[in-house]
Amino acid sequence: MPKPHLLQLTPYPEADQTPLDAAFIVHRYFDAPDQPALLATVGPLVDAIATNGGRGVSAAILAACPRVQIVAVYGVGYDAVDLAPCRARGIRVTNTPDVLTDDVADLAVAMMLALARGIVAADANVRSGAWAATGGPPLRHRVSGARAGILGLGRIGTAIAQRCAAFGMPIAYSARRPKDVPADWAYVPDPVALAAQSDHLFVALAATAETRHVVGPAVLRALGPAGRLINISRAANIDESALLDALEAQTIAGAALDVFEGEPNVNSRFLPLRNVLLQPHHGSATVETRAAMGQLMRDNLTAHFAGLPLPSAVV
């Protein structure tokens, strides 16, 4: 059986590239010198598209691939895939849930601790000699027992809540409906009300048209001058301009962000701020998890072309 043609929109680790190259005729769109020309030439041949959570697939690329059968996302977020043409044309879409949940939740908690305890500034204090010269950094704030609010109690939000509960933190969460969770986890569906009762507010929502800018001026006001925001979801869930206003005016205590509008380019207003922790969208970026994501993405592709059920289809 001839190898299917695969249009690859993003680079993968070598360990993932080798098996892809073995199973498919791979067309590397991401480093093509003339991407429109490549698309015009190979688009009619493409059977599958491989991408990641940040890159997705546009309607234009889908339109240039009239015989594409499946879009495989290396990541759990598929908000950057234009689903309307996929649904209209019967194009399957798969992602890589579960295998990255722990890593993303681990980083979210690490970001909370680093922000509240000033880990980055304390490292600089030692490295610069300031500790010896003028003493240690100023006192920071306890995390254990503080109130955790989880905006979006899906797989990752639940894993974050479980970790925070282990720190003795009271848990409150928003979701479309109450979840089957420990009885002392409070269901607070309104984002403003949730922020008002949170010291650390985690944004763990899948990005959709409904969640766009759900964290705006009202939520930030409710979070207040002692509140901290942690975002490991998508930048679109936050009104970044309103967040910058709040950080600059110190009307919230701080924010820890792994995602940004226009990433990897970051708004320069963030750079001088000392009450924000900036991370390079690396929630799932461990050797172990990326290997599992790559394997699951390939398992979906292999299953599709073998006519078998797909391990993790979203369309």
Question: Active-site positions?
Answer: 234, 263, 281
**What is the distance between the alpha carbons of residues 5 and 68, in angstroms, rounded to a whole number?**
9
Establish if 157 lies at the interface with ligand 8YV (CB under 6 A).
no
**What is the distance between the alpha carbons of residues 307 and 77, in angstroms, rounded to a whole number?**
25
Establish if 76 lies at the interface with ligand 8YV (CB under 6 A).
yes
Establish if 53 lies at the interface with ligand 8YV (CB under 6 A).
yes
Pick 76 or 246: Cβ nearer ligand 8YV: 76
Give me the residues paired with residue 171 across strands: 148
**What is the distance between the alpha carbons of residues 111 and 106, in angstroms, rounded to a whole number?**
9
Residue 270: how many CB atoms within 10 A of its CB?
17
Pick 81 or 243: Cβ nearer ligand 8YV: 81
**What is the distance between the alpha carbons of residues 18 and 185, in angstroms, rounded to a whole number?**
45
Q: Which stretch binds ligand 8YV (CB under 6 A): 72-80, 129-137, 184-192, 245-253?
A: 72-80
Q: Which stretch binds ligand 8YV (CB under 6 A): 29-37, 49-57, 136-144, 300-308?
A: 49-57
Establish if 101 lies at the interface with ligand 8YV (CB under 6 A).
no
Look at residues 232, 277, 288, 291 and name the one whose alpha carbon lies nearest to residue 258: 232
Establish if 52 lies at the interface with ligand 8YV (CB under 6 A).
yes
Pick 150 or 236: Cβ nearer ligand 8YV: 236
* The one-letter amino acid at 141: H
Residue for token pair 């420990």: 182
Pick 125 or 300: Cβ nearer ligand 8YV: 300
Establish if 77 lies at the interface with ligand 8YV (CB under 6 A).
yes
Residue 274: how many CB atoms within 10 A of its CB?
10
From the CB of 258, what's the least distance to ligand 8YV, in Å? 9
Pick 52 or 231: Cβ nearer ligand 8YV: 52
Residue count at the site for ligand 8YV (CB under 6 A)? 9
Quick one: which of 284, 294, 298, 303 contacts ligand 8YV (CB under 6 A)?
284
Tokens of 31: 């480093």
Could you write out the three-class secondary structure of 17-39? HHHHHHHCEEEECCCCCCHHHHH
